[in-house]
Amino acid sequence: MNKKGITPIREDYKRNYPLGLPYLVFDENKSFNGIRGDFYNMKHYKLSDINIMPGYWKNSGDIENVLVVLIAMSNTTTSSLNKLKVTVESSNFGTFFKGELPMTELNKRQQRIKFLNKIELQKDSDIIKKVVGDTITVNIGGQLYKFLNPEIEVSK
């Protein structure tokens, strides 16, 4: 996968199926810096770099069955994330809405933003079939980042 510009958050990224499915970064613009905890650290032309964590979560607060994209400044981000327009879209599920985060010191310091998109499921395992072919596109101040569904088939 790495040779094709696709990087999982960790090699065993399928370990929490079907309750959690992390999306894979597609580095078509050569903006991937590395993994920072649970985040992909990505180059950004205005911010130096930014942390992005996309995936499906069984629960996010009081919302069940939801695609989540958490965006946060890193320790080396050089400008304010709050000054940029941020949008998130899924090719299978449409536009995400901005969610609430608790006002913890970490969330304030990193100017974290959470985007959500609720998915209707009959049973937990349905999510695996629903994400096939999905791409999440994150637009931060005009710079695009693409994340691929965790069930992507990559030919060698």
Q: Is residue 156 part of a domain?
A: no
Q: What secondary structure letter does DSSP report for 31?
A: -
Q: Tell me the pLDDT tens digit for each residue of 107-152.
A: 999 999 999 999 999 999 999 999 999 999 999 999 999 999 998 8
Neighbours of 10 (CB within 10 A): 11
Beta-carbon contacts of residue 47 (< 8 Å; ≥ 6 apart): 73, 77, 78, 79, 81, 84, 140, 141
Q: Is residue 127 part of a domain?
A: yes
For residue 127, give its domain range.
2-148
Q: Tell me the pLDDT tens digit for each residue of 58-72.
A: 999 889 999 999 999
- % of the chain with per-residue pLDDT over 90: 79
What predicted TM-score, i.e. pTM, was given to this entire model?
Answer: 0.94
* Residue 96 banded pLDDT, cuts 50, 70, 90: very high
Q: Is residue 39 part of a domain?
A: yes
Q: Is residue 154 part of a domain?
A: no
Domains in the chain, number: 1
